[in-house]
Structures are given as C-alpha cells and as structure tokens.
C-alpha cells in the first residue's frame, strides 16, 4: 500500500480542489519535484472535460452531476504570498525546500524525541481533524513500530528511509493507513526531512478517478 507517486484518485481530488489544506500542500510539493505527476495533472485538464461530456450523454447520475458541479465550482488555488514577505525560521536554513514550502507558514518547531523535531505548518483555512508538519529525523535512527489512524501521507524532502515495503528518498510520496504497521529506519548517511499530512478521512474513490486511471497511466 505504498506509492512513490500519489494515486490517481488523490491527484484527481487535488485537481478538483477537494483536499484538505495539508493534503493539498503535500501533493503540490510532490508536483514541484515530479515532472511525471505534473504532466498527469495536465492530462486531467484535457481529458476530464471530455469524459464528463460522455457521461452526461449516457446517463446523468447523481454522482456525475456532483462531479460536474464540482468541476464548475472548482475554487481557484489561493495566491501564495510573495516569498519576500515570509520570514524563514532559522532552523530551516540550509534545507533545499521546494517552491511550495518556501511560502508555507512554519513558525516554529519542537523536539519530539532526541534527534527528532516536528515543525507544524499553519493554514488560514479550517484544518479541523487534520495535522500537517515537517519532521526531521537524525541519520541512523529507527522509529518505533506503529500503525496509522486514518490516512497519512508523507513526502520525502531529504535523506532516505527504509521499511518492509521499500526504500524512499527525495520526492517520493508514501501513503499509509490503518493497514500499515512498520518501523521505518532512516539511512545512516544523511539526516531525514519529510513533510507529513494526517487526515481522518478515508481516501475517496470517485467514479471519475476510476475512469481516468487508464489515461493517467500513459
């Protein structure tokens, strides 16, 4: 149940503005680092409309109507503030942060354990039930074995970590849910920085997401 790229359903919900602010930030940051997913998103723009017309021609189900309305009402992404107006906290100096994180509001950090710090990301919008943070883990550390509540997505920004499912490094997108139990180990050569978003919601499986899969895999 792990992915180096976000699954198509998640990309589709990103595309139509249905993700919580934290999930949206993680997916957008992956986009900054992944040309493949950027072109997949452009494909959604081109194919989504054509598919909707086809669905409407056959039978206009409630779901299709909902999706059509969602498309029409898709909110514009809020304009990020100019980077110059955001004061970078000193603890983020020296990290090569992708564009989308340079404008994120990350006011401070706390040490969660020796060698592990957490820096929450703040949003203007309502983020009830969700958590978004940068997590730093010193090289060579092994995290305690754990499972996940709801859906958790992690984007690697620096270093590597390994678990039973594989090895992950910068740009890799990892999806965890209640079924995943693991104790990730950070590589011995480099400290690890990742962006994490937790969301109590189950990942949506939309009709259109399913329909788009054959196209998205090109």
Least Å distance, CB 5 to Zn ion, is 3
Given the complex with Zn ion, which of 4 and 185 has the nearer CB atom?
Answer: 4
Least Å distance, CB 151 to Zn ion, is 18
Mark 142-166 as b/e (b = at least 16 C-beta within 10 Å).
ebeeeeeeebbbbbbbebbbebeee
For 181, residues 6+ apart whose C-beta sits below 8 A from its C-beta are 145, 146, 147
Given the complex with Zn ion, which of 5 and 109 has the nearer CB atom?
Answer: 5
Q: Is 51 exposed, middle or buried (0-12, 13-18, 19+ CB in 10 A)?
A: middle
- The residue assigned the tokens 């039978």 is 59
Given the complex with Zn ion, which of 37 and 194 has the nearer CB atom?
Answer: 37
**Which residues make beta-bridge pairs with 105?**
122
- For residue 109, state whether it binds Zn ion (rule: CB under 5 A): no
- For residue 5, state whether it binds Zn ion (rule: CB under 5 A): yes
Q: Which stretch binds Zn ion (CB under 5 A): 32-40, 150-158, 190-198, 201-209?
A: 32-40
Question: Would you call 50 helix, strand, or coil by DSSP?
Answer: helix
Q: Which stretch binds Zn ion (CB under 5 A): 29-37, 87-95, 103-111, 126-134?
A: 29-37
Least Å distance, CB 30 to Zn ion, is 6
- For residue 37, state whether it binds Zn ion (rule: CB under 5 A): yes
Judge contact between 45 and 78, C-beta under 8 A. no
Given the complex with Zn ion, which of 5 and 139 has the nearer CB atom?
Answer: 5
What does each C-alpha distance from 68 to 41, 62, 163, 201, 211 come to in angstroms?
Answer: 18, 10, 40, 22, 14
- For residue 34, state whether it binds Zn ion (rule: CB under 5 A): yes
- For residue 104, state whether it binds Zn ion (rule: CB under 5 A): no
Least Å distance, CB 208 to Zn ion, is 20
Judged by the rule CB under 5 A, the positions of this chain that interact with Zn ion are 5, 34, 36-37
């Amino acid at each position: 149940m792990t992915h180096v790229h976000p699954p198509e359903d998640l990309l589709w919900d990103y595309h139509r503005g249905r993700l919580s602010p934290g999930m949206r930030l993680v997916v957008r940051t992956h986009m900054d680092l992944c040309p493949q997913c950027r072109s997949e998103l452009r494909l959604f723009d081109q194919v989504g409309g054509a598919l909707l017309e086809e669905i409407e021609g056959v039978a206009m189900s409630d779901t299709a109507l909902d999706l059509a309305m969602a498309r029409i009402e898709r909110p514009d992404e809020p304009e990020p503030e100019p980077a110059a107006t955001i004061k970078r906290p000193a603890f983020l100096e020296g990290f090569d942060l992708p564009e989308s994180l340079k404008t994120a509001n990350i006011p401070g950090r706390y040490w969660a354990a020796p060698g592990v710090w957490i820096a929450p990301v703040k949003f203007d919008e309502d983020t009830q039930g969700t958590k978004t943070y940068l997590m730093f883990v010193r090289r060579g550390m092994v995290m305690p074995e754990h499972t996940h509540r709801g859906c958790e997505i992690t984007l690697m920004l620096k270093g590597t970590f390994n678990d039973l499912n594989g090895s992950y490094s910068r740009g890799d997108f990892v999806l965890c849910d209640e079924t995943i139990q693991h104790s990730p180990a950070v590589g011995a050569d480099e400290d690890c920085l990742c962006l994490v978003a937790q969301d109590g919601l189950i990942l949506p499986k939309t009709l259109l997401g399913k329909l788009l899969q054959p196209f998205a895999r090109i």
